[in-house]
Amino acid sequence: MAITYIKRAVPRPVFEDNNVRDIVHVMLQTIEREGEEGVRRYAKKLDGWTGDIVLSDLDRKAACARVPVELKEDIQFAHANIRRFAEAQKATMGECEIEVIPGLIAGQKQIPVSSAGCYVPGGRYSHVASALMTVTTAKVAGVQHITAVSPTRPETGIPDPIVYAMDLSGADLILNVGGVQAIAAMAQGLFGAKPADILVGPGNSYVAEAKRMLFGSVGIDMFAGPTDSLVIADNTAEVETVAWDLVSQAEHGADSPVWLVTTDKDLAQGVMHRAQELIETLPEPNRSAARQAWAERAEVILAGSREEAAQVSDRYAPEHLQVQAEDLDWWLGRLSAYGSLFLGKETTVSFGDKTSGPNHVLPTSGAARYTGGLSVHKFTKTVTWQHCNAAASKELALRTARLSRTEGMEGHAKAAEQRLL
């Protein structure tokens, strides 16, 4: 059976958003020139924030104290899971040493970056979990200085639960600022921050563009686009569960793709009908975002076999991939392109987004074909070293000199031959 599209996404407009690029370019240049004053001016203009940029220890403690006990316990639960998973990842990062030839010892070391800037989105939603995912992972990796930032609310600053999550995770410095101005502040090391070696965390198109423009002078976690999710389901899946899993991800934003790949036509038709009903039960602005995402970005695909379904999924390389089908071990072994995989009807992307442990900062827009998500590895440099004795040096020198001259690199040959003197 050929793959059949029961519902296709509306083609995206073919154009480059030069407006975003131009705005971000001007902002970064302005802040490079004006420094902290430029950040303050943009914070006032764009977010209506005129308070202190640096969150004082006193204000940090006050914000943490205002968080309800039950919410603190939920944040602590998520933090513990994220920390445990990051620690398990770190345990896989070994150092090594080998005698390549007699007398030549070479090795590998794992060195964390010195400083990290963690961006926590604000705006429509308060992304408490993003503070946990970014700061905790950097802390476990061994980063010495972590700056955390997030957009402010007029008069109140960063929402208290986000501050609490940043504090619990180990942020050394918290800045009351979001947007491009926050990215620039961390990159330049303004307001007492140590200039960031790497910038991480999701954000809107302006934040993503600022990170893209700064990449090279600083490291970044990834080039991020709108979040996306794909569900693979067979005839054992439940319409209600699949529909909610798709709707919950469409809630992220009007430009967030959600895809269903199924081997069961009745399930496909049932989910299409039920998803639209469920969207209408959401509060605003979630309802409008999900409604547009479903209308314009959702796709429902009928596959003739599980192998065809796997092929479609690997081609899409989704950020989030759920499997609600029989023989989960087969799917775990077969699927090869995804940011994070969620197996079984008892497991949902919402767990991964908030509390279960594996990081939710993941590759979007098909980037899962060649990279994974945020982890302790992103904050760590894998470096090599070598040392040789006189006997090894002699053999290396002879062979290096000959190979260098073959390449036309006389200076390399002379440097090697110095070891023969």
Q: Cite the active site residues.
A: 319-320
Give Cβ neighbours of residue 67 (< 8 Å, ≥ 6 apart).
Answer: 75, 160, 161, 164
CA–CA gap between residue 1 and residue 381 (Å, rounded): 47
HEC readout, 84-122 = HHHHHHHHCCCCEEEEEECCEEEEEEEEECCEEEEECCC
Sheet containing strand 4-7, edge to edge, reads 4-7, 299-302, 258-262, 229-233, 320-324, 340-343
Where does residue 407 fall: left (phi above 0), alpha (psi -120 to 50 degrees), or beta otherwise?
Answer: alpha
Residue linked to tokens 């955390």: 148
CA–CA gap between residue 301 and residue 7 (Å, rounded): 7
What is the H or E stretch that residue 7 is in?
strand 4-7
> Is the alpha carbon torsion for 208, 209, 214, 215 positive or negative?
positive
Residue linked to tokens 């077969």: 334
CA–CA gap between residue 46 and residue 214 (Å, rounded): 21
Q: Please calculate the CA angle 76-77-81 and round it to the nearest 5 degrees.
A: 110
Q: Please calculate the CA angle 199-204-209 and round it to the nearest 5 degrees.
A: 60
Give Cβ neighbours of residue 396 (< 8 Å, ≥ 6 apart).
Answer: 104, 388, 416, 419
Closest by CA to 309, choosing from 347, 271, 259, 263, is: 263
Contact 118, 359 (CB under 8 A): no
CA–CA gap between residue 238 and residue 22 (Å, rounded): 47
